[in-house]
Structure 1
Amino acid sequence: MTIDASINDFFQRSGLTSRDRLECNKFIESLYPGRLISPASCQGYCSLTIFVGDDTVIQFRTHSYRLDLRITDAAQEVYGTFAPETTYLTTLPESRLDVYHMGRIAGVSFKLFRASEALIAGSTNQRIELCKDFATFLAKSWLNGNTEDLPLGQVGKSLVNRLKSLATDLPPRFQPAVRDVLRNFHRIEGLPWVLTHGDIVAANIMVNSSTGRLTGLVDWAEAERLPFGTCLYGLEEILGEMTTAGFRYHEDAEELRALFWTELQGCVSDLEQKPVLDAVRLARDLGVLLWHGIAFDNGAIDRVVQEGRDIEEIQRLDAFLDLSGHKRCGLDSQNVIGINT
């Protein structure tokens, strides 16, 4: 889909017209006369994102998908430069779109980067550094995670109910993982509850276009407090990718998985305790089940995915849950479904 088509889709989904799009354009041009203005190459489902020069992002969002500035401020406090500084500017009078100013995180999305020749030239070395950086990023939430004042979000308030729905409605082959998480939920619940990015996919991971090193994450709209490790499903997006045949891991995936866990344990010494590490592994499975077992459905996130209807999510569940506990921590490098890089 072209950039223009995805922008048109945003306005149509939001019940807006070409006149409202013109209002957005005029607002930016009046705010930044003479500056280079261009739409982001990867547009989100819930927003319109425009770049101004090399350092500024202007984002338009309908009120139903407005940002919680308590969350965006906390993201900056916890993750530092890995999260953008965000401020509310205004609400446009005609379209009623909320307008936000953000600092632009340098680099390109990992989705674009891994499709480029740069990744092919030095794939393993680049993913090594990215896995280390991702571990450092996650460790910040444990080490700087004083977010108790933040209210629980849509997912955090309903973890057990969501798991019960998954236990009832997911295809039978995924039920052992759901039962394991439910049976040990008290162990997951006992982990630190940290500010967790709500959508760690390749399009939201920003990397240096030359080195592949992590520069930050964008789209913090769905971030909330959750048990540490819940967003570990994001590691899988670094270790593999979706293909026409389903999700496939790169041949170096288990080597890099082991490296990631070594780096994370080096950053968070508590993870050297086996009970804590085991609880984080379970939280990882909880995250996989929540993010890929529950359909997005325009933000409703209240329907369990179905065979034949939610094909990519089912394929990710098949790939991400087809791992023993040891293998998830990089202790078993056998039987990896590989793709050449």
Structure 2
Amino acid sequence: MPFVIYNLANSISTFFFEAGSSTSREECDAFVRERYGHDISIQPAPIQGVSSYTVFVGNDKVVQFREHTSLLDIPLLNLVREIHGEDTIVPRCVEIGWIGGLGVYEMTKLSGEALVMVRSSLDGCQRERAVWKRFFAQSWLKSEAATLTSGFDISTLRSTAKEECDRRLEYLSQTLPARLQPFVTEIQTTFSYPIVLTHADLNETNTLLSPSTGSLSGILDWAGASFLPFGFSLYALENFLGGWMGQKGWTWLPHSEQLRNIFWETFCTQTGLEDVRLIKLAAKAGILIRYGIAWDARFEGMIGVRDPNLGGGDEYRSLDALLFSNRGETTE
């Protein structure tokens, strides 16, 4: 796996510089001490988000300061907790105030370490436990019933999801190179997917695993979550099974195909589904949106990560690898 340098201090400084001079890190830390006591331990989270500053308070609390453009939707978070189980992999969250232009939230502290920190050290059994089988099965089985009991209008959500998907697919039809257009056309002509509450940026820094067992212990940062067709966030599975671009293309972990098969077999067993062709087609749509939409395209909800500044065709390498490759077992 390539060596990636992450500088915590620089990440925090960047956030406060971009958040504006009305609020500083010192003011945020003072807010925490004033609320929880001047003697309490305050430590910055080891990995910070782009739109937030997060600190651990004592042994069991997290306080997060978020930009006004990336606030948390508490009713949606409560729905996520209902779908996936309270106090298991989704933290309890309450808004506790504002400081300057930043919204402030208190959350329960979940156990585990970020996937990006532990993935390379997982053995085969741990990797098998970590492939999100239960998480996606819960989304399939519980989303519609939980959404209805929470007072959301399913028909309105479906209509909105269809409109959002149409906008994204139209964008892709106008921006992707010709070799990728057949995938867009295939998805546009087959739109019949159940909708679920979908994480906007399900990645290696937002996913917590138990270092000892590999079991999923937390999904963080639900800002921007929206209702989209089930399967759109399955790009996360491919990220886990590979997840970085080397000189020879997308690099897969050892036994990635075996782990992928285990995921689908377990998913079908837990959900009772026998035909997952539409779900796999929706997964293609998610890959297209994730890696085909530029990060600055300003779509709400699920985030695109394509870097339009790469040029020379490099900005589409991830799509070529994930949509055209035979998913070999290459490692570097």
SS at match of 2:47: coil
Question: Match for 1:211 among 210, 213, 238?
Answer: 213
Q: Secondary structure at the match of 2:261?
A: helix
How far off is 1:309 after superposition? 4.4
1:339 has 2:321 as partner: no
* Deviations 1:71-112 (CA, angstroms, capped at 9, x unpaired): 1111111111221111100011xx221100111121000000
Deviation at 1:157, TM superposition (A): 4.0
Select the residue among 104, 107, 114 that pairs with 1:102. Answer: 107
The one of 196, 204, 209 aligned to 2:198: 196
Partners of 1:60 and 1:335 lie apart in 2 by: 40
Q: Is 1:32 paired with 2:50?
A: no
* Alpha-carbon distance in 2 for matches of 1:206, 1:310: 35
Q: Which residue is equivalent to 2:263? A: 260
Query: Which residue identity lines up with residue 288 of structure 2 in the other structure?
Result: L
Map of 2:292 onto structure 1: 293
Distance 1:241 1:299 in 2: 24
3-state DSSP class of the match of 1:166?
helix
Using the alignment, how far apart are the partners of 2:297 and 2:27 within structure 1?
24
TM-score (norm 1): 0.84
More helix by share: 1
Structure 2 distance, partners of 1:305, 1:179, is 23
CA distance, structure 2, for counterparts of residue 89 and residue 130 of structure 1: 33
Mark the CA change 1:212 to 1:224 in structure 2 (over 3 Å): closer, same or farther. same
Pairs aligned (count): 312
Offset of 1:20 from its aligned partner? 2.3
**Partner SS for 1:99:** strand
Q: Deviations over 1:284-328 (max 9, x none)?
A: 0111111221122295569876473498763321222125xxxxx
CA distance in 1, matches of 2:298, 2:73: 15
User: Identity over aligned residues, as a percent?
Assistant: 34
- Name the CA distance, whole Å, in 2 between partners of 1:230 and 1:110: 20
Cα offsets for 1:258-290 (capped at 9, x unmatched): 000001001111x21x2xx11101110111111
Distance in 2 between residues matched to 1:37 and 1:71, nearest whole Å: 28
Please show how residues 1-341 of structure 1 align to structure 2 within 5 Å: 1-16=6-21, 20-33=24-37, 34-80=39-85, 81-92=88-99, 95-115=100-120, 118-119=121-122, 122=123, 124-131=124-131, 134-145=132-143, 146=145, 147-148=147-148, 149=152, 152=157, 157-185=163-191, 187=192, 191-245=193-247, 246-269=249-272, 271-272=273-274, 274=275, 277-297=276-296, 300=299, 306=308, 308-309=310-311, 314-323=316-325, 336-339=328-331
User: Could you list the runs of 5+ residues in structure 2 that have no partner in the other structure?
Assistant: 1-5
Displacement of 1:40 after TM fit? Answer: 1.0
- TM-score scaled to structure 2, two decimals? 0.86
Root-mean-square deviation (Å): 2.5
Amino acid of the structure 1 residue aligned with 2:93: T
